[in-house]
Structure 1
């Protein structure tokens, strides 16, 4: 009996020792691992950990994967934005509302102009420097048109690949041009709804004094003279107004292999509400706050322009058909015609170099 008690005591001692080693060794590795990092890196990681614990209250979309094979994107999103994941059959998506995101890069003084008339918000990927520079040297360089002040802001999220290097490049670019606004969501095609709603939130909170705003893609040609002529028409509404290329009776795509697939769990109707094609639409700036507020009541889905249309429908506003619908073109024939580009408001292009070439020709003396 004594031998049994002694053996039992030895077993308990060994177990406690083994348990202590199991606990202490990882802690020592963790502690020394932290000490081996620069203090700024440790602080950044700690801050990221704190952000991961935040509880998200409101629901707007941060679409990260539609099928299981997109698990890489899902993990990347979870680690960078820390938004709780819900699953609906084969879909996994993140809940998010614009106020859940903070601005990493911002321009706290640029939007303080009291006479600001039009803000051009350009969603662009972090790596698309060539597109940003092409805009800066063409229509983005026009700060006053028809005696009205215009401001251009590039909106972007977090880089996914080579994040540290790209983030530093963005910081230097911001210091040089002062036209970047970056928020802490992963920048991807499936997150365009998040990007659009962050744009709306930025306009509502940072530029409420602007009369109009435009969301315009980075691959677009924009004729500001024609746009300003439209906005300055006596019959153009100053409130509850949004116009562009109007889309009616567009069916929801249920094919899982499609880039535009939306499952019934996210949007149950077979057709989208009337909306404006996301390549470029202009609106009275009072709508920014209204869209953000009503979005809290609308289940999000990943087709950003149709989602804005759903917000407008809930508000009770219909998109306006422009006086000349042909001025908002959603295609480029591949052939440059000077008279055509002189008459449009927007046209999609194939490359940044095309924008520069066509712009230079359009502006040359005749």
Structure 2
């Protein structure tokens, strides 16, 4: 027992020394050791230049919520590539037109410009739209211009590009810039359309942005909603309006928006992406203000952000004209609608002859 005493004493002294060493290090370098883990490095301060272009707003549904809100902390306008979130849209940027139709509005200013979002491979879809609601002569006496918006296919860019160029030479209705054609770049497609209107068709009365999988009743839109016999509206945008909504933070959703891309909890009011219409003057303003903002990967929500920055409100339309969901086709029902979502080319070609035919009288 007595022979083992020096060993025990040495053991206790050794661990006492280690304990004192840890205490000294902790005091000399505070916050570097936390439960055995290194603390994260402190972020660099954000400069005033980096903060420019960051929308700072918070929308809530009730006054009670507004009273308890605090302004969100803005994030840098353009983080370095090494820290940029993969979903962050790069804009403004000098994207180049690979296909363009700069002379479409040279002879006369159209009443309506149709901007249809498509993918490079959607040849069948574009042909179906040309034969149906995208026909530029669909409304007698009303000048219309149809354009398909597209980017570059992320995997089959070169082989599809040759086909796209042939299609463009035949129909003269495709515009394309050199960004990747992905779901998260839909905002870039719409901004390309706004840029085209601003540069090549600034005197258009109205602009309609539509997805390619919709049924669009252009006649009803023009005659009943836009009314060409009246002076064009100004600062006008309408569609299916979303209010008091916010970004989805779960990666399980197709519409996932991380806080690194959009830090606020709510969006300003905006029109649903399947189809909305805006005045020509507002299209130019949207393109201008977009150069000063952080662009997000939700195209329709970003349009609402642009309107907010411009101090313009969305305009309510009669309920039910713009449908973001599918409806079963019935001629008289569809004759009083503007947009119905989820209509592919096969369905569109199937119902269009009946919709255009005069074999059924609908109640007024």
Match of 2:221 among 209, 220, 227: 227
2:258 is the counterpart of 1:240: no
- In the alignment of these two chains, the number of paired residues is 283
Q: Aligned residue for 2:182? A: 188
Q: Distance in 2 between matches of 1:152 and 1:351?
A: 18
How is 1:327-338 mapped onto 2 (pairs within 5 angstroms)? 327-333=321-327, 335-338=328-331
2:99 is the counterpart of 1:133: no
TM-score by length of structure 1 reads 0.73
TM-score by length of structure 2 reads 0.73
How is 1:113-262 mapped onto 2 (pairs within 5 angstroms)? 113-143=107-137, 145-229=139-223, 230-232=225-227, 238-262=233-257
SS at match of 1:313: helix
SS at match of 2:198: helix
Shift of 1:110: 2.1
Segments of 5+ residues of structure 1 without an aligned counterpart are 1-57, 61-82
* Structure 1 stretches of at least 4 aligned residues deviating more than 4 Å after TM superposition: 233-237
Q: Distance in 2 between matches of 1:245 and 1:284?
A: 16
Which range is displaced more, 142-151 or 339-348? 142-151
Q: Aligned residue for 1:320? A: 315
2:83 is the counterpart of 1:87: yes
Change (3 A) 1:107 1:250: same
Q: Could you report, residue by residue, the CA deviation over 1:84-121 in whole angstroms, capped at 9, with x for unpaired residues? A: 73525x64635222x61111111132221324110000
Shift of 1:330: 1.3
Contact 1:87–1:93 (CA under 8 A) maintained in structure 2: no
How is 1:29-48 mapped onto 2 (pairs within 5 angstroms)? none
Q: Could you report, residue by residue, the CA deviation over 1:171-209 in whole angstroms, capped at 9, with x for unpaired residues? A: 100111110111111111010111111111111111102
Q: Distance in 1 between matches of 2:231 and 2:316?
A: 11
Contact 1:59–1:95 (CA under 8 A) maintained in structure 2: no
Match of 2:294 among 299, 321, 326: 299
Contact 1:276–1:319 (CA under 8 A) maintained in structure 2: yes
Q: Aligned residue for 1:109? A: 103
Match of 1:275 among 270, 274, 279: 270
Q: Aligned residue for 2:351? A: 358
SS at match of 1:347: strand
SS at match of 1:344: coil
Give 1 or 2 for the bigger CA radius of gyration: 2
Contact 1:220–1:279 (CA under 8 A) maintained in structure 2: yes
SS at match of 1:221: strand
Change (3 A) 1:344 1:153: same
SS at match of 1:283: strand
SS at match of 1:156: strand
Q: State the superposition RMSD in angstroms.
A: 2.2
Which range is displaced more, 263-272 or 305-314? 263-272
Q: Distance in 2 between matches of 1:122 and 1:304?
A: 14
Contact 2:152–2:177 (CA under 8 A) maintained in structure 1: yes
Segments of 5+ residues of structure 2 without an aligned counterpart are 1-51, 55-78, 360-364
Q: Could you report, residue by residue, the CA deviation over 1:341-364 in whole angstroms, capped at 9, with x for unpaired residues? A: 111111113421101111111112
Contact 1:219–1:349 (CA under 8 A) maintained in structure 2: yes
Q: Aligned residue for 1:347? A: 340
Q: Could you report, residue by residue, the CA deviation over 1:273-325 in whole angstroms, capped at 9, with x for unpaired residues? A: 10000110001011122112212332221111000100000100010011x22
